[in-house]
Amino acid sequence: MRTAHAVAAGTLVAVVSVLGAPAGAVSPTTSAPRAVLTVQVATSASRPAVVERVVVGHSRKGREIVAYRLGDPEARRSAVVIAAMHGDERKPQAILRNLRDGSPISGLDLWVVPNANPDGVARKARRNARGVDLNRNFPRRWKASKRGPTWSGPKAASEPETRAMMRFLRKVAPDQVVSFHQPLYGIDTSGTGNRPLARRLAKHLRLPKRSFSCGSGCHGTMSQWFNHRLDGQLVTVELGRRPSKAYLTRTAPKGLLKALGGTRP
């Protein structure tokens, strides 16, 4: 990825690396160079916090999965925040959009992915267009399951959305990752223990610390894969079923930044 460069007052030229591509493109496992495109991004007028916009991949139906880089790329701390991995858990998107569309962020190199499952969001459905639960499709403790609400797919990392997120997280290598879900209401400590990030999130997002077992047991989740394979720390945050507008647009964005070590006016 390359940092965007300011070229004129009120205008930003963002060099965007396309980390994933629709079916038929060059495989991301080959050594071929990835595509690069240039886009114009208005800064002060619309999204002053955005430093870079990156298409990290595409859904099974070809919809873009977009990450926005906010804050200071040279900051000591880095973080990625993800929402809507399940397409029927859309409320947390408002938190990420608030950060993306708000005032500039300092003290943190922050990436937000407001829509990790665009096909599911379009259908208001938990799973992607193939019927796979993306949070059971990661290649860590993956196991086959029957088709249904939590179908894990025909094999580990079978879905383009899963592979796109894996490539992106490997590329960014963040210190901290927050994955937002609904509606279990709490900070999941089952995969992270009583670590400082989980404690800070519980405090500043005003949510209880809890242990989520995924019903019949967790397998193939993004947190299991990330916390085993990469050096950073991923914590799953479950909002309630109907968080208020004030919580989504004021309390949660402010609390999330504070927990991650960022600030904004």
Q: Nearest 5°: phi and psi at 199?
A: -65, -40
| Neighbour order of strands in the sheet with 36-42 | 5-8, 11-17, 36-42
Which helix (H) or strand (E) segment holds residue 121: the answer is helix 118-123
Q: Token match 């927990």: residue?
A: 259
For residue 164, what are its two tokens?
A: 């796109």
The radius of gyration computed from the CA coordinates of the chain, to the nearest angstrom, equals 18
Q: Cα–Cα distances in Å, from 60 out to 118, 119, 127, 131, 225?
A: 9, 7, 11, 10, 21
130, 154 contact by CB (below 8 A):
no
Residues 6+ apart with CB under 8 A from 114: 66, 68, 83, 84, 93, 96, 97, 100
- pLDDT value, residue 31: 33
How far apart (Å, rounded) are the C-alpha atoms in residues 200 and 262? 13
Neighbours of 183 (CB within 10 A): 13
pLDDT score recorded for residue 13: 39
Per-residue pLDDT of the chain (265 residues; tens, 9 = 90+): 434 433 333 334 344 444 544 433 333 333 333 333 334 344 445 899 999 999 999 999 999 999 999 999 999 999 999 999 999 999 999 999 999 999 999 999 999 999 999 999 999 999 999 999 999 999 988 888 888 898 989 999 999 999 999 999 999 999 999 999 999 999 988 766 568 899 999 999 999 998 876 755 678 899 999 988 898 899 999 999 999 999 999 999 999 999 999 999 8
Tell me if residue 244 falls in helix, strand or coil.
Answer: coil
CA 7 to centroid of chain Cα atoms: 29
Quick one: pLDDT at residue 142? Answer: 84
Q: Which domains does the chain have, with CATH numbers?
A: 62-260 (3.40.630.10)
How big is the chain, counted in residues?
265
What phi and psi, each to the nearest 5 degrees, are found at residue 27? -65, 135
Helix/strand/coil percentages in the chain, nearest 5: 25, 25, 50
The model's pTM is 0.84
Residues 176 and 154: beta-carbon distance below 8 Å: no
pLDDT for 141 equals 81
Q: Please name the residues in contact with 245: beta carbons below 8 A apart, sequence gap of 6 or more.
A: 94
